[in-house]
Structure 1
Amino acid sequence: LMMGPSGGFEEKEYDLSFLDPGDTVQVCFTFVSYDYDTDYEGWYVDDVELTSRYLSVEESSPSRENLKLTVSPNPSRGDFLFALSGFEGKGADLRIYDASGRLVRKLNVRGGNALWDGKDRGGRKVRSGIYFYRLRAGNRVFRGRLLLFRG
């Protein structure tokens, strides 16, 4: 818990050694201000890092050289096809974020493919703009930009 003004960035470290390997951790940042008449810029979170002292090896972890992701078309007027080749594991998922970092949509990758139809979680068409994707396949993560324009 950090309270009060800061003249700059402060590094904080928290011991999570009570967790077991494989445990899921959810990190939440909350900003509360009691001063409604302020001209300060705000509150920033930067360089969050979770490290582990454990080393794990997955039996069927895919080789980095064999994985390839293609996204087409990009730019697009609506649909983006994500094609992941060389991945034979389970649990690949795709997340789409808007420019503010808000999660727009989460999709499962089935048979190496996923299709984002340019809609949010509520089924509404999103606006034209730049979006970001993160596709996680096993221990590999792909990130990139998408340009969506409606016409």
Structure 2
Amino acid sequence: MAADRLFEALPKDERQSFAELPSIVHRLEGDAEKMRARVKELDRLIDNVDHDEALGARAAPVGADLSDRRESMAADLQTARDGAQQRLTEAVSALETIRLELLRMHAGAGSVVSMTQDLTAARALSADIEHVLHGKREVARLLASGGDG
């Protein structure tokens, strides 16, 4: 059962205690989608670097400097991809943690303290993801403007 349906099925007083839960869940779902898209984008870029390197090796030998730059670019892209994948995993895990805590609450085994901690952690994760995406947008903006700031 999805978190939103579990939340709506809680008694009114419990829903009021966690009024921010639907917006946090919605934001995390959006964050997960953005991270999935970022992973795909980085996968394409990594493939392009690998493809260009393969073409370059067949067409003509390249200097050590260009080869080093390609390797550095590929490593940087892989690091960024790994970070995006980690944030995606964390977002999905946070959503599942909230869903499981809602199930516990329905079973009478959940606690307000535990749910509050889960929501606090989810809020912090969402803020972290937004900072990463903001940084990416800012870099893209600076590159598009020629770095003039």
Coarse TM-score class (shorter-chain normalised): under 0.3
Larger Rg: 2
Higher relative contact order by CA 8 Å / sep ≥ 6: 1 or 2? 2
Q: 1 or 2, which has the higher strand percentage?
A: 1
